[in-house]
Structure 1
Amino acid sequence: MGVVELRQMQVVVAVAEAGGFSAAGRRLRLVQSAVSATVRAVERELGAPLFDRTTHRVVPTAAGEAFVAAARMALSAVDQVHTAVDAARGVLRGQVTLGVMQGLLGGLPRAIGAMRRAHPGVVVRLRQAPADEIVDAVREGTIDLAVVALTGRRRGLVSVELVRDRMVALVGPSSNLPDTAVSLSELARNPFVDFVPGWAVRQAVDRAFRAAGVERAAVFETNDILTAAELVRADLGVTIVPSALAAGFPDLPTVAIARHAPTWTAGVVHRRDRLVPAATALLEHLEGWGGRAP
């Protein structure tokens, strides 16, 4: 039996992660035919198909899943070898993948920029997706660190709090609500822009209204903070968001919530096993950003 090369492992892993040959080619800057040829060569070498190919998608077989898991470990070991040599030379290099929950980018580019200035040899890949998808990717090892809302303990993961934020009402430009503070009862008299069930913001708002014994009528539900802001900007309703997110819409008035104001916590999660040096360095910069976050 011959030897499967590291580059071939990278190609197979990219196909599995991207879900197709064309997408993997774009990621690796290879033409699709080269990606397909590489996968076929590995399949011939191993004597087993690695992917089920259909018209619409490419899915790893059982052998493919086993290969991808082992290949990730091998590629990670190679990265650690290079990292160890660079560390001995006093140079930090490598790649770190940062997952970010939708709507939570905020001031993160400042932290990433500071990281890049301090360690220009480190490449930071950013992936934005729903929180559950991001956390699953951390468990699988395809994402090193994830910035998400902290809604409780996550099995097998370490959580580092960055921001604990008191939430505020975001209201339209023609709102008749008080400028200083507003109660949940007053907010409930207005059309309400809610986030979809399962979102951390929605969970915090639901808890606050239950604690206050107040019911609201959600006229709109969205899974996008920009859409929520547009609906409020058009005076179609009010919403409640963390003040750090409200700061991203300076044209919209924000009003403090007088009683039962919900709170929202964001932080970094990562696996319990040791982080690679590049991920550790990024975590330090994220912790600094958390301390300065609005």
Structure 2
Amino acid sequence: MDSLSTANVEFCLDMFKELSNNTVGDNIFFSPLSLLYALSMILLGARGNTAEQMEKVLHFNHVAELLQPEFKDSAECSQTGRVHSALGALFRQINQPDSTSTLSAANRLYGTQAIAFHQGKSVIVDMMYQTGTFKLAIIQEPQMQVLELPYAGDKLSMIILLPAGSAALEQIEKQLNVKMFYTWTSSSNMVERDVEVHLPRFRLEINYELNSLLKSLGMTDVFNQIKADLSGISSAKGLYLSKVLHKSYVDVNEEGTVAAAATGDNLVVKRLPIRTQFMANHPFLFFIKHTGTNTILFCGKLASP
């Protein structure tokens, strides 16, 4: 499912950049996988130019031919049908019956202290800290630390992109694309180290109406009552997509990181004598992913706790 996970990352970063441009200085949090699945159901009934626009925005236009044989031979023989079948299989893989999570992530970070968040602003937040062995990358251009915190028996993880030195978060956002994301988080860069992690408590609950954002990405016809072609859903005239509403929630505290719903296992780590400090006391980007499929479940920016 590599092609599908790549489409997921591409769509995620497109969405993030549009949200970041439209909400300068604000927190961001959304689930690209949830949006992909919801919009793919509309795509099943889309035809003509409406379908082409949606496939391009969702990065499905080059996915179907790369899917594994079982999806090519699916009863739903259309390209969109194969992609939708693969998405369904992906959801089943993430939500396996024996899984300790349901689109959720959990971990415990012990200890708290108050600290200033974001230099130049008088914001004091409660910070949590923990020492342990984690995968950490030190990137020189732009300067940043990339930390991976494993959750739920290593099935999920949170990746944090934290500016370092004189670098600003805007520099990371500017260079962020699929190629750079894969490079920064590659196994050649992410090395296991003994790390002292300082992470703020934060809770985000954000609602978006995404019509204008999706239009700006190129998905225009489906929102137009005259141009929309959803004849695969109904032969009735004038059928179109009126609104795309998205709500997501994340809570990071001593009890763990909860995205959407449940709580997972505690993290057990070994201690080593030399520690690297990871001090998240200024704005950062974070991604919660399913490690088995490299699928990004949630994406966010913490600008103000």
TM-score range normalised by the length of the shorter chain? under 0.3
Rg (Cα) greater in structure: 1
TM-score, normalised with respect to structure 2:
0.20
Greater RCO (Cα-Cα under 8 Å, separation 6 or more): 2
TM-score, normalised with respect to structure 1:
0.21
Structure with the larger helix share: 1
Structure with the larger strand share: 2
